[in-house]
């Protein structure tokens, strides 16, 4: 077993200080003495690591995980096209089913196939819209999305970055990985959904459908905001009312259905803006086709290349470049200026991750995370209940202090080497246990998972119905959920052998 030595005391102290600054600003982005926000806080932590000579400049650049940034960037682009193609309209139907139950199933299923980060990028705004339309608080929906995305992502090697590292180092096949964690993932989904309903039942009972007058007010406000005539907007409500009364419904319901399905183009809804028709920039071939055929072709192509991307993942091709290739294929086939699409990418989020990578790498160089493992390793044997408990607590702690990917990189080989002294099957189970606990550990706090931070930042930046998911509001639910879901899933790991 590799022994990790602590760095000299000044380096440990300064590195801990820099990491503390990053952690403080990530948790409290608007502290009175330094209200610079999470993104700038991550950059400040990275700069302090370099200024304090905890990490060298070259090592700092090398610590930035470009494949993860490339994957995140590309999936934001692909997600925009899939949203325009109406894919998430179908997921929205599941989200609307029994409120939290739909959110849990949809987020978990999508995370297993599209990674938890992708799921959170494309569904956060939709979840906010769904909560607003039902007159419900946004917090339970956002928590359902973030926590379920993390739990669902545990089931496949492509669900999250740490699973990719584990699958590569352990040589576990896709099917072995999937069936080894599937029982725990399903149980975790059920428990997480039940805890959400129990904790926020009273809040969810207060929902109501918005009235026709509120629809008119919203449309009038949107018209003023977009520079259109309020009279035109109100006349569209009248048209909706007439048409919907003919079909036996309410105008409010009609408007909500059209907003949810992304069909209200004239009122400024940007759901189809990525593939909106701009005839002046289209090729003559597109102009000769009917509008319906052009839209059908572009939407069909988005589905086809996305399926191809998933197949490429399963075949073991590079995830980052596969996603980038898919994104550029969609841009090229759309055959118009891609700037509106690229403007939808959350570049501040990419900068935040860059700063976080440098800060976490510098903290690891202090030797503190390694020292924790060296001290606890003798008590973390996987063939005893007490050992599994200690090991799980170590993973939970380190995953929330140094993030789950560095934790996996730090502990993976050591945990597998310890399990190898027991049996070959214990080695496989140790890798799967590491994947399960490090992934579910992300639900403990906002800093535990990139998916949590994505939901938080996307919700704060939402053009409508913006919501600030605070550190403490997440911890209140995240701590009990993480402990219970982790404990229930551990006995189920590796029960199905392929």
Q: By C-alpha distance, which of 293, 219, 228 is closest to 258?
A: 219
Q: Cβ distance 121 to 111 under 8 Å?
A: no
**Lowest-confidence region among 104-113, 160-169, 178-187, 399-408:** 104-113
Q: Express each pLDDT in 349-405 by its tens digit.
A: 789 889 988 998 898 889 887 787 777 777 888 888 888 999 999 888 878 876 677
pLDDT score at 221: 47
For 351-418, give the DSSP string.
HHHHHHHHHHHHHHHTTHHHHHHHHHGGG--TTSHHHHHHHHHHHHHHHHHT-HHHHHHHHHHHHHHH
H-state helical runs in 261-338: 284-288, 291-314, 319-334
Q: Is 448 helix (H, G, I), strand (E, B) or coil?
A: helix
| Share above pLDDT 70 across residues of the chain, in percent, rounded to a whole number | 74
User: Alpha-carbon distance 242 to 228, whole Å?
Assistant: 22
- Report long-range pairs for 165-174 (Cβ below 8 Å, ≥24 apart): 165/405, 165/408, 165/409, 165/412, 166/408, 166/412, 166/431, 166/434, 166/435, 169/412, 169/413, 169/416, 169/431, 170/412, 170/416, 170/427, 170/428, 170/431, 172/428, 172/431, 172/432, 173/498, 174/314
Q: How do residues 227-277 score in pLDDT, each as one tens digit?
A: 444 443 333 433 333 344 334 444 444 444 444 444 333 333 443 443 444
- Which range has the worst mean pLDDT, 135-139, 221-225, 341-345? 221-225
pLDDT(321) > 70: yes
153 or 92: whose pLDDT is higher? 153
Lowest-pLDDT range of 112-121, 328-337, 347-356, 418-427: 112-121
Instruction: Say which residues have a Cβ less than 8 Å from residue 74's Cβ, sequence separation at least 6.
Output: 320, 323, 324, 326, 327
Q: Mean pLDDT: which of 301-305, 313-317, 337-341 is highest? A: 301-305
Range with the largest mean pLDDT of 86-95, 307-316, 488-497: 488-497
pLDDT score at 107: 67
Residue 56 has pLDDT above 60, yes or no: yes
Stretch 162-167: mean pLDDT: 83
Residue 43 confidence (pLDDT): 94
Q: Look at the pTM and tell me if it is higher than 0.85.
A: no
Angle in degrees, CA 349, 353, 356, rounded to 5: 135
What is the pLDDT at residue 243? 41
């Amino acid at each position: 077993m590799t022994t990790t030595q602590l760095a000299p005391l000044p380096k440990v102290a300064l590195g801990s200080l820099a990491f503390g600054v990053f952690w403080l600003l990530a948790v409290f982005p608007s502290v009175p003495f330094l209200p610079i926000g999470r993104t700038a806080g991550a950059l400040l932590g990275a700069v302090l690591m370099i200024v304090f000579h905890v990490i060298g400049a070259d090592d700092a650049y090398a610590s930035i995980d470009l494949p993860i940034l490339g994957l995140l960037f590309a999936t934001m682009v692909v997600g925009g096209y899939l949203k325009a193609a109406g894919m998430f309209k179908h997921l929205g139907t599941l989200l609307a089913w029994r409120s939290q139950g739909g959110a849990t199933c949809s987020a978990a299923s999508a995370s297993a196939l599209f990674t938890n980060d992708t799921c959170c990028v494309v569904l956060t705004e939709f979840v906010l819209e769904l909560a607003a339309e039902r007159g419900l608080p946004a917090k339970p929906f956002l928590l359902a999305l973030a926590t379920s995305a993390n739990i669902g992502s545990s089931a496949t090697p492509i669900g999250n970055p740490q699973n990719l590292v584990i699958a590569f180092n352990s040589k576990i096949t896709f099917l072995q990985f999937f069936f080894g964690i599937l029982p725990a993932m399903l149980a975790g989904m059920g428990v997480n959904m039940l805890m959400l309903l129990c904790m926020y039942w009273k809040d969810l009972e207060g929902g109501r459908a918005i009235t026709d007058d509120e629809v008119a007010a919203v449309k009038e406000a949107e018209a003023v905001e977009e520079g259109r005539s309020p009279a035109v907007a109100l006349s569209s409500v009248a048209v909706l009312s007439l048409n919907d009364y003919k079909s036996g419904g309410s105008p409010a319901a009609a408007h909500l259905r059209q907003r949810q399905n992304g069909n209200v183009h004239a009122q400024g809804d940007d759901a189809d803006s990525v593939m909106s028709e701009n005839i002046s920039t289209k090729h003559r071939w597109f102009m000769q086709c009917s509008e319906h055929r052009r839209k059908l072709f572009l939407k069909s192509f988005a589905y086809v290349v996305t399926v191809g991307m998933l197949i490429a993942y399963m075949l073991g091709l590079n995830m980052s470049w596969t996603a980038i290739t898919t994104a550029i294929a969609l841009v090229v086939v759309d055959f118009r200026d891609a700037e509106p699409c690229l403007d939808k990418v959350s570049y501040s989020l990419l900068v935040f991750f860059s700063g976080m990578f440098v800060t976490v790498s510098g903290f690891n160089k202090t030797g503190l995370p390694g020292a924790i493992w060296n001290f606890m390793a003798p008590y973390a044997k996987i063939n005893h209940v007490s050992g599994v408990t200690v090991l799980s607590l170590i993973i939970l702690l380190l995953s929330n202090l140094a993030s789950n990917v560095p934790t996996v990189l730090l502990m993976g080989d050591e945990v597998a080497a310890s399990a190898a002294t027991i049996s070959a099957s214990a080695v496989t189970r140790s890798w799967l246990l590491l994947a399960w606990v490090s992934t579910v550990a992300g639900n403990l706090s906002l800093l535990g998972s990139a998916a949590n931070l994505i939901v938080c930042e996307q919700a704060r930046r939402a053009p409508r119905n913006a919501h600030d998911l605070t550190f403490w509001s997440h911890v209140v639910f995240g701590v009990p959920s993480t402990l219970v879901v982790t404990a229930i899933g551990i006995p189920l790991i590796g029960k199905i052998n392929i």
